[in-house]
């Protein structure tokens, strides 16, 4: 997830280039080095980095505040959780998705935010405040939002076929289909095809979705995340579900690639949010970073690069009309009405999902290596959680 050098945006409007300039114009003075460095852990390619004259968000933050940024990336919510649960990493700002915000806060793995240090929260639209995954907005500030759709190669796949998730089970595209390499998104597509909620706790419904994914597996070329960019761009794959914010990259770079939000069954509406993990050594500096990201000028410049949608009307007004009127980035209400948000599920259901996902990944012939890797992954995660909880209990007893 989440790559998006907004070539399309740059193509449709050279005016976008004005955003970085205006975003940085109010801060010509360079702040004195505070000696503080915050560790920021984000999705891959999920921040404007100064490429092609765009705003270098982290550099601008350092320039304005004197706080340095050590920036690293991850590729799934589950890998983020595993890293945090392991307890060995020290981060100050992370960007989990909705259901993962809920999971982390319920497990005591997030710091409560001091909104006195985040006055730019005022720019977050009311419809993005107090969400189900963080009802009191105690732990998170929305960073981006979007929906899931289907990338397709126009040379081989008709657009109307992609209006339903059924196309990902079409045998004529065997070997040319990619699927998400994370359980919530992969199961979610199967669940929508079956007419179930993403957030069901019905064992039979999860098992039915797993059966559907197992049926699909012989048609799947690979389970991937950001690798879809190379595979779709090269023509190695023709169909791939992914996040709408990334449409700018593929559609802008390759005229043979299209993107559709399936309207027949509905799709996932997601929000990624900025949070501070428990134990942050630089909490006030982390809150200053989150506040900086909420500045409408910064948000507009940042999101014009990464291609995702902003939760701020003030920032949206600064984006090109070609972008804000594009239904891929800002879908009409009719699509949003058929969309559903992931929520954190009970431990019992999460355990079931892990087990069923392992079955899906190890299914088929000649997949011994996959089985071994999946089992090792679950074992490593289990041990990490045990160690994390042991350390947490030890700290509480001290």
- Supply the DSSP symbol for 274: E
Q: What is the pLDDT of residue 379?
A: 64
> pLDDT tens for residues 45-66?
899 999 888 999 999 999 999 9
State the Cα–Cα distance between residues 245 and 185, nearest whole angstrom.
15
138 phi-psi bin (left φ>0, alpha ψ -120 to 50, beta other): alpha
Question: Burial, 158: exposed, middle or buried (Cβ in 10 Å; 0-12, 13-18, 19+)?
Answer: exposed
3-class secondary structure, 29: coil
Beta strand 141-153 pairing with 177-180: unpaired
> pLDDT tens for residues 297-351?
999 999 988 989 999 999 999 999 988 999 988 999 999 999 999 999 999 999 9
- Whether the per-residue pLDDT at 364 is higher than 60: the answer is no
- Whether the per-residue pLDDT at 210 is higher than 70: the answer is yes
Q: What confidence category does residue 134 fall into, taking pLDDT thresholds of 50, 70 and 90?
A: very high
Interval 244-269 mean pLDDT: 90
Q: What is the pLDDT of residue 14?
A: 38
Interval 165-177 mean pLDDT: 98
Q: What confidence category does residue 86 fall into, taking pLDDT thresholds of 50, 70 and 90?
A: confident
Interval 214-232 mean pLDDT: 95
- Residue 105 vs residues 123, 139, 286, 341, 389: alpha-carbon distances, Å: 24, 7, 17, 17, 14
Instruction: Tell me the backbone φ, ψ of residue 246, rounded to 5 degrees.
Output: -90, 0
Identify the residue with better confidence: 249 or 114.
Answer: 114
> pLDDT tens for residues 11-37?
334 344 445 545 554 555 788 899 999
State the Cα–Cα distance between residues 374 and 352, nearest whole angstrom.
15
CB within 8 Å of 85: residues ≥ 6 apart: 109, 381, 384, 385, 388
CB within 8 Å of 1: residues ≥ 6 apart: 43, 44, 46, 75, 76, 225, 226, 242, 243, 246
> pLDDT tens for residues 267-305?
999 999 999 999 999 999 999 999 999 999 999 999 988
Q: Is 99 annotated as a binding residue?
A: yes
Q: What confidence category does residue 173 fall into, taking pLDDT thresholds of 50, 70 and 90?
A: very high
- Residue 71 vs residues 176, 244, 255, 261, 323: alpha-carbon distances, Å: 34, 24, 33, 32, 28
Helices 57-65, 283-294: inter-axial angle, 10-degree rounding:
120
Least confident of 76-80, 316-320, 369-373: 369-373
Q: Is 60 annotated as a binding residue?
A: no
Q: What is the pLDDT of residue 252?
A: 80
Interval 370-384 mean pLDDT: 60
- Supply the DSSP symbol for 295: S
Q: What is the pLDDT of residue 307?
A: 87
3-class secondary structure, 138: coil
Identify the residue with better confidence: 177 or 246.
Answer: 177
Identify the residue with better confidence: 28 or 74.
Answer: 74
Interval 93-104 mean pLDDT: 97
């Amino acid at each position: 997830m989440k790559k998006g050098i907004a070539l399309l945006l740059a193509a449709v409007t050279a005016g976008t280039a004005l955003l970085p300039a205006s975003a940085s114009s109010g801060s010509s003075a360079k702040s004195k080095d505070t000696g503080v460095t915050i560790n920021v852990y984000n999705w891959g390619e999920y921040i404007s980095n100064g490429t092609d004259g765009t705003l270098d968000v982290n550099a601008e933050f350092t320039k304005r505040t004197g706080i340095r940024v050590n920036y690293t990336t991850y590729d799934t919510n589950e890998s983020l959780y595993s890293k945090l649960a392991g307890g060995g990493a020290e981060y100050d700002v992370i960007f989990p998705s909705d259901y993962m915000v809920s999971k982390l806060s319920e497990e005591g793995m997030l710091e409560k935010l001091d909104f006195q240090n985040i006055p730019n929260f005022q720019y977050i639209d009311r419809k993005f405040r107090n969400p189900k995954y963080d009802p009191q907005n105690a732990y998170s500030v929305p960073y981006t939002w979007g929906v899931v759709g289907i990338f397709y190669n126009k040379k081989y796949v008709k657009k109307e076929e992609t209006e339903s998730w059924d196309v990902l089970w079409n045998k004529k595209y065997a070997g040319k289909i990619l699927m998400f390499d994370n359980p919530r998104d992969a199961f979610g597509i199967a669940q929508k095809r079956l007419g179930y909620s993403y957030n069901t706790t019905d064992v039979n419904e999860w098992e039915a979705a797993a059966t559907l994914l197992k049926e699909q597996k012989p048609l799947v070329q690979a389970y991937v995340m950001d690798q879809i960019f190379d595979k779709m761009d090269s023509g190695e794959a023709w169909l791939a579900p992914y996040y709408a914010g990334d449409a700018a990259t593929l559609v802008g770079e390759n005229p043979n690639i299209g993107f559709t939000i399936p309207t027949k069954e509905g799709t996932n509406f997601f929000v990624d949010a900025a949070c501070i993990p428990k134990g942050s050594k630089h909490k006030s500096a982390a809150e200053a970073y989150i506040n900086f990201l909420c500045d409408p000028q910064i948000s507009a410049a940042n999101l014009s690069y990464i291609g995702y949608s902003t939760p701020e009307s003030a920032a949206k007004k600064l984006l090109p009309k070609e972008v804000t009127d594009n239904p891929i980035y800002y879908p009409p209400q009719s699509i949003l009405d058929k969309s559903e948000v992931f929520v954190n599920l009970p431990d019992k259901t999460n355990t079931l999902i892990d087990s069923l996902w392992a079955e899906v990944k190890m299914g088929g012939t000649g997949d011994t290596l996959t089985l071994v890797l999946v089992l090792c992954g679950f074992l490593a995660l289990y041990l990490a959680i045990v160690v994390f909880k042991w350390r947490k209990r030890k700290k509480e007893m001290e």
